[in-house]
Structure formats: C-alpha cells, structure tokens
Amino acid sequence: MRIVVYFVPFLFGAFYRVLVQAFQQPFSHNPMASTIENFYQKTATAAMKDWPRDAVLYQPYEEEQILLAENASCLAVRTYLKMLNLPVALEQRANAEFMSPGGKRTKLPVLRVENFIYAEFDHIVTFLEKNFNKSLSAPLTPEEKDQMRSTNCLVEHLFTTAEQYVSWIDPEVRNTVTKKRNGCVFPFPLNHVQNWRKESAVRRQLRMADYLHEGIDTIMGEVDHLCQDLSSRLGDKRYFFGDSPTELDALVFGHLYSIFTMKLPNNVLALTIHKYSNLNQFCKNIDETYFSVKGK
C-alpha cells in the first residue's frame, strides 16, 4: 500500500513533465502544425503569382435554373472580374450550389483559382485583394472606402432579402416560377425535396432578418428608400465614385440588372426600381461597356 501511495504521485509527475515537454516543442516539429504552416505559406505565395489561366466560375444554368437572388450574386461577381480585367471560364452546373464551401446568403457563385475555392461576392472580393492584390477601391480615400463598404452591406442585405421574399413568399411567383426553375434539374421526387430544402433555408434567413412576416409593401418601401439613396449618390456620374468603377458598382449592377431582366408574374420589384432614370442609365452603361459583343 505504501509503495502504491509513493508510486501514484510519481506517475502523475512523469505524465505532467511529458505534457510540458510536448507543449514546449517548437511548433514546426508537430506534423499537423507543419501542414497548417505550409498551407498559410502557400496562401501567402499566391499573392506573388499572376492570375492563372484556368480560373473557373461556377453557377447554375442561367436560362432554366438560376433564381433571382442567385443570379444577382453571380452577375455581380462576373461584372467585378470583368472590371478587374481578370479572365475566367464560366461553367454552368446543375449542382453549383452544392459545390460551394458555404456563404451568408446565396452561396453562389463559386470561384476556383488553383487550389482555392471561394463563394459569394464579399468573400471573392476579399480573396482577390489579399492574394492577388486586385481591387477597384484602391484610389479611394479611407472615408470613401468606409462609405463604400457600408453601402455594400446595405445593398447586399436589402436587395437579396427583397429578391428572396418575392421568389419564395409571394405565392404566384413561388408556384409558377421559383419551384419550377429550382427543381427542374432534379428527377422526381428529388425536385420536391430540393424545393422544400431551399424554401426552408430562405424562410429561416428571412425570419432571422425579421422580414418573414412583413408585408410586400413594407419591403418595397425599404427598397424604394435604398434606391433613392443610390440615385442621389450616383447623380449624373457614370459610377458611384466618379469615372472609375468600384466594388459597389459591380454589386449594384448585379442586383438591378437581374431584377430588370428576370421575368416574373409579380414585377413589383422591377417597377419600384425602374422609376429612377439614372439607375436605369447606370445599368445600360455597364452592360454596354462590359457585356456587349464588342466588350466580350
């Protein structure tokens, strides 16, 4: 018994010393730590590389599958890449959403650059700036950058919310357009399962944003207020911050142009925006500059 009493503290002491020595080992001696360190070194190295030729942007099928909010997000990223003059191959995939590493709202589009995969506008913009030093907002002052970022957040939040609300809460749009497009690439009964899954996710997002039980008039009122602010900021300029585009221009164009061109039985969203003539001209200018036959 006495031997056990003396032996137990010895074991605990030895175990404690082993733990201390293990934690005192250099970080690089840990195989897992080396893997993580190599990953971040590789990430840092990407900043010194040129833009690769095999970059790919994935999105759902544009003609028959993609929904309003997802189309706006995909178009915003495509516009931003064109403004940066970064070539990318566009691939339309039925399972594009399921290829996504995740996101806050639409999870689309999905950009693959070498071994890196990012999704949604904000994450892709940050990735390009940190790893390739590519940004449209570099000439802006710190105050203008803060203003642009806050407006970006407001634009993404309100327009995406309104687009999802019209697509999934309005019964006519949901039953005649949204469910048919969202489920068209899936066989029965998977198409119904996919529609249920997608609608549940959108309703959860709208509930968290306190918009699920709001009326369409309330949401359109907020959209109208946002468009008033955007119209006032734009004025008679070509872009929001002068003669050169920024992230805000790409994002606003993605939403406005998608709303204008997506055919829905309830076009209240397009009618709300259409009355601002300079926003209409803004969309026309970007479309002609970056998406016309000559611009391609």
pLDDT value at 17 more than 90: no
Is 50 part of a structural domain of the chain?
Answer: no
Cα angle, residue 272 at apex, residues 108 and 249 outer, rounded to 5°:
45
Location of structure tokens 């730590």: 33
Q: What is the mean pLDDT of residues 221-246?
A: 97
Distance, CA of 206 to CA of 105 (rounded, Å): 10
What's the number of domains the chain is made of? 1
Is 4 part of a structural domain of the chain?
Answer: no
Phi/psi class of residue 107: alpha, beta or left (left: φ > 0; alpha: ψ in -120 to 50)? left
Q: What is the mean pLDDT of residues 209-238?
A: 97
Is 61 part of a structural domain of the chain?
Answer: no
Confidence of residue 16 (pLDDT cuts 50, 70, 90): very low
Instruction: Give the tens place of pLDDT for each residue, 255-271.
Output: 999 999 999 999 999 99
Instruction: Give the tens place of pLDDT for each residue, 71-122.
Output: 999 999 999 999 999 999 999 999 999 999 999 899 999 999 999 999 999 9
Contacts of 201 (CB under 8 A, 6+ apart): none
Residue 151 CA to its chain's centroid (Å): 15
Q: What is the mean pLDDT of residues 157-172?
A: 98
**Percentage with pLDDT > 70 across the chain:** 82
Which residues span the domain enclosing 203? 142-291
pLDDT value at 239 more than 80: yes
Give the chain's length. 296
State residue 267's pLDDT score.
94
Distance, CA of 171 to CA of 271 (rounded, Å): 19
- CATH number of the domain that 211 lies in? 1.20.1050.10
Is 179 part of a structural domain of the chain?
Answer: yes
Q: What is the mean pLDDT of residues 11-19?
A: 39
Is 44 part of a structural domain of the chain?
Answer: no
pLDDT value at 9 more than 60: no
Confidence of residue 190 (pLDDT cuts 50, 70, 90): very high
Is 39 part of a structural domain of the chain?
Answer: no
